Amino acid sequence: MADRYVYFFGAGQTEGSKDMKELLGGKGAGLAEMARIGVPVPPGFTITTEVCRLYLRAGKYPDGLREQVQSALERLETATGKTFGGGASPLLVSVRSGAAFSMPGMMDTILNLGLTDTTAAALAAESGDERFAFDSYRRFVQMYADVVLGVHADLFERLLEAKKHGRGVREDTHLPASDLRDLVGEFKTLVREKTGKDFPEEPQDQLWGAIHAVFNSWETPRAKAYRRINNISDNLGTAVSVCSMVFGNMGDDSGTGVAFTRDPSTGERRLYGEFLVNAQGEDVVAGIRDPLHIDGMAQALPGAYEQFLEAAKLLEDHYRDAQDLEFTVEKGRLYLLQTRNAKRTGRAAVRIAVEMVDEGRITPEEAVLRVEPEQLDQLLHPMVDPDAKVHVLTTALPASPGAASGVVVFNPDEAAERGPHEPVVLVRRETSPEDFHGMVAAQGILTGRGGMTSHAAVVARGMGKCCVAGAGELVMDEGRRRFTVGDVTVHEGDWITLDGSTGRVILGRVPTVEPEPTDDFRRLMEWADAVRTLRVRTNADTPNDSAVARRFGAEGIGLCRTEHMFFEGDRIDAVREMILADGGGARAIAVAKLLPMQRADFEGIFRAMDGLPVTIRLLDPPLHEFLPHGPAEIKDLARKLKQNPDKLRARVEAHHESNPMLGHRGCRLGISYPDITWMQAQAIFEAAVNVQKEGVRVCPEIMVPLVGTAEELRRQREIIDHVAEEVFYQCDTTVDYLVGTMIELPRAALTADRIAAHAQFFSFGTNDLTQTTFGLSRDDAGRFLPSYVEGGVLPDDPFQTLDLDGVGQLVEMATRLGRGVKADLKVGVCGEHGGDPRSVEFFHRAGLNYVSCSPYRVPVARLAAAHAALKDPSRTPAAAPEPAAPSLEEVEAVAAD
């Protein structure tokens, strides 16, 4: 016997269930389940997703399909007492696509299929309502022609409008039957003109044409794009559900609607939706007539409303989740056409999950899994008002979430100047550490170049500031202080709005809505924390960032980038003096100037973190990033340092590197200039001693960046341990500390066992590890990476979501090698991937102890870590746990200080 390709539902003969989503699609499984639990649905059948896969692969239907569809049609005829394609009581059907995941871009519904001149006449006679019959018929011809034959719906709408205009009526319900009959004729003539063929008059041809169209719609560019963005496999295929028609356009005791069992935007427990009297499904969506709020149905159709309330409750109880329902009322009788878990905002997701626990419907663990980590972002940042009308100039990388409106400025100094008085958006080709002051002062940052781990993106995320990066369509003309996108030119001082959550650059000032963390949010996060095993730290460089991150639940600092401290105020002069010093003696003097400043920074951070571990990374970026650019800056510095400008220029030029990312940076600086390591270690230990004396527990962890060989780490550690010994001796006390390294070069991963001999912890710098594993520049990748992802060459931007096959393998291997030498080696990650939910799940599986991410990603990472633990409870980190996380009260006390 042939395989089974068709499943019947309704009329007491249901063959599928909700657990067969992959085979029957979301709609097919929902219809089957509703029929099974006694919710009224019109009977029908579903052709499986397997048929779609076979059809798309082989270009033909599998043997036996036609017979199975025919037999299901006959069962449907018996169940409804109607005949498909003829008889006194014609059977009409709807045909709908339905993949396992709801997917915009797939074929729309076709209603009233089976209508021909003959069956329309029979329908008119049977219902005694000619108007209804021809209203259904003209709708069918339009929908079928649009969806299956490719004749645009607008052309039909124009003919309909012309008819209404001729009659002097506004609503199509006021057109008499004769006009509707004429319209059917006009529609068919249009089809013949546009396609060169007659509209199919055989219901069997109509049905197979629709089935074809559904399967082919799986391959439309829109559907493909949606799958790519949402990580849905191309191999799933779609099902086709064929359902006997019920009619919402049978008069004033009929209608159609859509409704959510809870408010999808706030999560409030109330029905939320719309209803139209005497209408068919597409009227609600098309906005042709103003629908009633669903509550209005209570007056319009009280009996059906009661039935609806009952069905909605039954379905929510059954699925134990908020449902999104489609329904039709035919002559006072309710039918459900679709149920699915309702899509919802982050705020609604949290509220619904928590309230469902309170209602005793789900467990706290289930509630945790009900909220997607990414959804939390919406709760933590201001958002572009979803109701605002916007003029989108371009869409680029959503580098740092939130929304910001401000006047455009092109220069960081100008941003710093204007920022305190008016909101500014800093627009740059790309940013560099020198722009920091302007970035601090700006509401948002827009760059024309750069990817998700470009300087602008990383710094903005760290500050919780909105950033859109890599807007390649922007043609910058900084000289004339303007940029152009297409035919729009934006001048300095014009308003723009950035949506860092979607990457939209919007012309003008758009209202934003502020989030407010709720009690529900707190409770959900407590449940998440109770189940996760992965610790969550933060990347923070200032006491303020540290305090913000603690408020979001960070359990330590996983990365303090000390170089960011070098740009504050006039420190940069001392840094430049250090770099450009003529010899060892001059350098030592310059370095000594920096010592008290660094010490004060570390003291602030140790106090803010109050007993939690603080990982401080030694200087990392290539030195020339700190140097003056251009003759004016060099002249200015020469004056301050009392040096000859020409000599100084020569020294600056001597630091130029062709490929600085792979050049004199990371621990290579500390090896060449041990004074710098010395000074930083001294600042850290003296700060630790001072703060410990105040009665605060300190846990410094000193991290050596960009190590490629064990010997580099050995030498750097020697200095650090030596300085520690000296400081502790001088101060007559000790502080517990660790020395570890970043693993951010493939060589480090490959030789992790040798490196582990000198390391007390590893932290994967997955930004650089991705860059060096792919041989792909972090700063230039934005130019072509989006097209790689769009074209499917890469599944994701590897700077955003860890490349498991390549970089992930190195992470696993280095962890294994490291722990082979030191079983309890603490291993974490501090690249941007530490805040990416899918990457966090991988780090959990790989047995890491912690992830570290920017402050505003901390709740996202906590929830992702909880998801990971619930999905894979067998994994627990191999190394000893870190100090317990602070209680909520403790965190709030710190935040209030």
Q: What is the DSSP string of 629-671?
A: -HHHHHHHHHHHHT--HHHHHHHHHHT--SSGGGSS-THHHHH
C-alpha–C-alpha distance, residues 688 and 666, integer Å: 23
Q: What is the DSSP string of 485-524?
A: ETTEEEETT-EEEEETTTTEEEES---EE-----HHHHHH
Return the range that interacts with ligand PEP (CB under 6 A); candidates 30-38, 370-378, 423-431, 763-771.
763-771
The distance of closest approach from Cβ of residue 267 to ligand PEP in the complex, given in angstroms and rounded to an integer, is: 36
Collapse the DSSP code of 866 into the 3-class scheme (helix H, G, I; strand E, B; otherwise coil) and give the result. Answer: helix
Return the range that interacts with ligand PEP (CB under 6 A); candidates 151-159, 290-298, 377-385, 764-772.
764-772
Q: Are 880 and 385 in contact (CB under 8 A)?
A: no
111/840 with CB nearer ligand PEP = 840
276/619 with CB nearer Mg ion = 619
Q: Which of 301, 559, 683, 687 binds ligand PEP (CB under 6 A)?
A: 559
Q: What interhelical angle do 130-147 and 153-167 show, nearest 10?
A: 150
830 is catalytic: yes
What tokens appear for 223 in the block?
């559907």
744/779 with CB nearer Mg ion = 744
What tokens appear for 33 in the block?
């389940």
The contact mask relative to ligand PEP for 261-300 (x = CB under 6 A, - = no) is ----------------------------------------
520/541 with CB nearer ligand PEP = 541
What tokens appear for 447 in the block?
């760059």
Q: Which does 580 bind (CB under 5 to 8 A by kind): ligand PEP, Mg ion, none?
A: none
Residue from 814, 813, 799, 692 nearest 761 by CA: 814
Spot the catalytic one: 381, 437, 455, 844.
455
Collapse the DSSP code of 393 into the 3-class scheme (helix H, G, I; strand E, B; otherwise coil) and give the result. Answer: strand
Q: Which of 172, 529, 577, 620 binds ligand PEP (CB under 6 A)?
A: 620
419/834 with CB nearer ligand PEP = 834
What tokens appear for 61 in the block?
């239907």
Spot the catalytic one: 52, 243, 466, 830.
830
261/598 with CB nearer ligand PEP = 598
The distance of closest approach from Cβ of residue 366 to Mg ion in the complex, given in angstroms and rounded to an integer, is: 38
SS (H, E, C) 353-379: HHHHHHCCCCCHHHHHHHCCHHHHHHH
Torsions phi, psi of 885, nearest 5?
-65, 150
421 is catalytic: no
Q: Segment 427-486, which members bind ligand PEP (CB under 6 A)?
A: 458
At residue 687, what is the residue type?
A
Q: Which does 831 bind (CB under 5 to 8 A by kind): Mg ion, ligand PEP, none?
A: ligand PEP
766 binds ligand PEP (CB under 6 A): yes
768 binds ligand PEP (CB under 6 A): yes
The set of residues, in sequence order, having a beta carbon less than 8 Å from that of 697 and lying 6+ positions away, is 610, 611
80/767 with CB nearer ligand PEP = 767
Q: Are 273 and 295 in contact (CB under 8 A)?
A: no
768/882 with CB nearer Mg ion = 768
The distance of closest approach from Cβ of residue 744 to Mg ion in the complex, given in angstroms and rounded to an integer, is: 5
C-alpha–C-alpha distance, residues 178 and 442, integer Å: 64
The distance of closest approach from Cβ of residue 539 to ligand PEP in the complex, given in angstroms and rounded to an integer, is: 7
Q: Segment 700-759, which members bind ligand PEP (CB under 6 A)?
A: 744
Return the range that interacts with ligand PEP (CB under 6 A); candidates 179-187, 319-327, 678-686, 765-773.
765-773
By CB under 5 A, name the binding residues for Mg ion: 744, 765, 768
C-alpha–C-alpha distance, residues 646 and 635, integer Å: 9
Q: Segment 827-846, which members bind ligand PEP (CB under 6 A)?
A: 830-831
779 binds ligand PEP (CB under 6 A): no
616 binds ligand PEP (CB under 6 A): no
The distance of closest approach from Cβ of residue 747 to ligand PEP in the complex, given in angstroms and rounded to an integer, is: 15
213/713 with CB nearer ligand PEP = 713
Q: Which does 142 bind (CB under 5 to 8 A by kind): Mg ion, ligand PEP, none?
A: none
Return the range that interacts with ligand PEP (CB under 6 A); candidates 232-240, 350-358, 762-770, 789-797.
762-770
The set of residues, in sequence order, having a beta carbon less than 8 Å from that of 858 and lying 6+ positions away, is 536, 538, 549, 552, 553, 554, 835
C-alpha–C-alpha distance, residues 843 and 850, integer Å: 8
Residue from 526, 351, 371 nearest 888 by CA: 526
The distance of closest approach from Cβ of residue 455 to Mg ion in the complex, given in angstroms and rounded to an integer, is: 12
Q: Which does 561 bind (CB under 5 to 8 A by kind): Mg ion, ligand PEP, none?
A: ligand PEP
The distance of closest approach from Cβ of residue 834 to ligand PEP in the complex, given in angstroms and rounded to an integer, is: 8
The distance of closest approach from Cβ of residue 432 to ligand PEP in the complex, given in angstroms and rounded to an integer, is: 14
Q: How far, CA to CA in Å, does 52 sit from each of 56, 62, 162, 225, 792? A: 6, 10, 40, 19, 22
- Residues in binding contact with ligand PEP, number by CB under 6 A: 11
C-alpha–C-alpha distance, residues 554 and 561, integer Å: 17
384 binds ligand PEP (CB under 6 A): no
Q: Which does 834 bind (CB under 5 to 8 A by kind): Mg ion, ligand PEP, none?
A: none
Return the range that interacts with ligand PEP (CB under 6 A); candidates 28-36, 43-51, 598-606, 760-768.
760-768
Q: Which does 470 bind (CB under 5 to 8 A by kind): ligand PEP, Mg ion, none?
A: none
Q: Which does 383 bind (CB under 5 to 8 A by kind): Mg ion, ligand PEP, none?
A: none
561 binds ligand PEP (CB under 6 A): yes
579/743 with CB nearer ligand PEP = 743
Burial class (CB in 10 A: 0-12, 13-18, 19+), 21: buried
Q: How far, CA to CA in Å, does 214 sit from each of 119, 207, 229? A: 24, 11, 21
The distance of closest approach from Cβ of residue 584 to ligand PEP in the complex, given in angstroms and rounded to an integer, is: 28
The DSSP output letter for 849 is S
Q: Which does 830 bind (CB under 5 to 8 A by kind): Mg ion, ligand PEP, none?
A: ligand PEP
C-alpha–C-alpha distance, residues 18 and 315, integer Å: 12
Q: Which of 261, 533, 767, 773 binds ligand PEP (CB under 6 A)?
A: 767
291/556 with CB nearer ligand PEP = 556
The distance of closest approach from Cβ of residue 601 to ligand PEP in the complex, given in angstroms and rounded to an integer, is: 17
Q: What is the DSSP string of 457-474?
A: HHHHHHHT-EEEE--TT-
Q: Which does 766 bind (CB under 5 to 8 A by kind): Mg ion, ligand PEP, none?
A: ligand PEP
Q: How far, CA to CA in Å, does 826 sit from each of 34, 756, 859? A: 51, 10, 22
Collapse the DSSP code of 223 into the 3-class scheme (helix H, G, I; strand E, B; otherwise coil) and give the result. Answer: helix
The distance of closest approach from Cβ of residue 852 to ligand PEP in the complex, given in angstroms and rounded to an integer, is: 8
The distance of closest approach from Cβ of residue 692 to Mg ion in the complex, given in angstroms and rounded to an integer, is: 29
Q: Which of 419, 765, 847, 859 binds ligand PEP (CB under 6 A)?
A: 765
135/744 with CB nearer Mg ion = 744
The distance of closest approach from Cβ of residue 236 to ligand PEP in the complex, given in angstroms and rounded to an integer, is: 34
What pairing do the DSSP bridges indicate for beta strands 535-539 and 826-829? unpaired
448/765 with CB nearer Mg ion = 765
C-alpha–C-alpha distance, residues 444 and 439, integer Å: 8
Q: What interhelical angle do 177-195 and 153-167 show, nearest 10?
A: 150
What tokens appear for 523 in the block?
């409770």
What tokens appear for 245 in the block?
């028609």
812: left (phi over 0), alpha (psi -120 to 50) or beta: alpha
Please give the residue ranges that form the binding site for ligand PEP (CB under 6 A): 458, 559, 561, 620, 744, 765-768, 830-831
Annotated active-site positions, please? Answer: 455, 830
